[in-house]
Amino acid sequence: MNTITSDIRQGRILVSDGAWGTFLHEKGLLPGECPELWNLNKPEEVFAIAKSYIDAGADMIETNSFGGNSFKLAFFGLAAKVYDINKAAAQISRDAAGPDIHVLGSIGPTGKMIIMGDVTNEELYDSFSKQAVALYEGGADALVIETMSDIEEAKAAIKACRENTKAEVICTMTFEKTGEKSFHTMMGITPAAMVSEAIAAGADIIGANCGNGIRNMIGIVEEIRSVDAKIPILIHANAGAPVYKDGKTVFPETPDEMAEYVNLLINAGANIIGGCCGTTPGHISKIAGIVRRNK
């Protein structure tokens, strides 16, 4: 299997997968239940999610390990299971992927803030290292650090992945539209500011995930491209911002609505496109259709 970056260097546009969290809830995960524990208790359900995205045409799938760091697992009394849970997450996705589809080990934020004195850089690095090693040993060929808002936490995670595994390292942050043409994370980081810091820390691929829909992602990609013409960019967009309707929260963008923006995103300079909260195999299938048609 080629690396993701070598495929991109050859000019390919790649398709990533869609939501995991919202998908798990549809399969019966209860609020307050530890999603990552399903890797040990209900691996067949987790496998089914991975498989559904491969069937939809994804070139890469993530793992069910977004909250698999020691801080979040400790809340569920599972701190001792960090290795087992993450290794199982990668194994399940690898089983579904076979040898030719990339497996991206998902690493989300710890929820602890350095600036608040909750945690030190070293503690973050140690926590991310344990998670990264387990995902890598379980079969992930890349690691995706995602939904980051603090660049210091993102850098600790990038270094942990880079220095303790041979996986390709991807880092995406979550930006909010803060002005006509400006985007910031909750901690005030702009896409342009992320670029040099994430690359210096060792990221192979950078980008954005979550947020308020695919439309905003175009401006974010343009801003990254304005400071770096080459770095591969991955976008995992939500199916819009959640809206409350008839007693239910829904992510409003349909596969067709999201698909309208795929070419604009590619033209802006994105190299890998997939989904985040609220996206389904239906969304990924549409995105894959457009990407393949362009070939």
Interface positions with another protein (CB under 8 A): 22, 25, 30-33, 72, 75, 111, 113, 115-116, 149, 176, 178-179, 184-188, 242-245, 247, 249
Residue entry with tokens 């991206």:
104
Least spacing, CB of residue 215 vs another protein, in Å: 18
Least spacing, CB of residue 165 vs another protein, in Å: 27
Least spacing, CB of residue 206 vs another protein, in Å: 20
Least spacing, CB of residue 47 vs another protein, in Å: 22
- Do residues 95 and 53 lie in contact, with contact meaning Cβ atoms separated by under 8 Å? no
Q: How many CA atoms lie within 13 A of 174 on its CB side?
A: 19
Closer to another protein at the Cβ: 209 or 285?
A: 209
Closer to another protein at the Cβ: 103 or 173?
A: 173
Closer to another protein at the Cβ: 176 or 222?
A: 176
CA 242/CA 262 separation, integer angstroms: 20
Closer to another protein at the Cβ: 196 or 249?
A: 249
Q: What is the DSSP letter of 145?
A: E
User: How far is Cα of residue 57 from the mean position of the Cα atoms in its chain?
Assistant: 17
Least spacing, CB of residue 9 vs another protein, in Å: 35
Least spacing, CB of residue 199 vs another protein, in Å: 22
Based on DSSP, count helices (H) and strands (E) in the chain, helices before strands: 13, 12
Q: Which residues of 209-227 are buried (b: 16+ CB within 10 A; e: fewer)?
A: bbbbbbbbbbbbbbbbbee
Closer to another protein at the Cβ: 245 or 295?
A: 245
Collect all residues with Cβ–Cβ distance below 8 Å to 72 and sequence separation of at least 6.
108, 110, 111
Closer to another protein at the Cβ: 103 or 277?
A: 277
Which residues on neighbouring strands pair with residue 236, listed in sequence order? 209, 274
Tokens at 243, concatenated: 């809206």
- Do residues 208 and 235 lie in contact, with contact meaning Cβ atoms separated by under 8 Å? yes
Least spacing, CB of residue 53 vs another protein, in Å: 20
Closer to another protein at the Cβ: 64 or 271?
A: 64
User: Alpha helices, DSSP H only, in 29-120?
Assistant: 38-41, 43-55, 70-75, 82-97
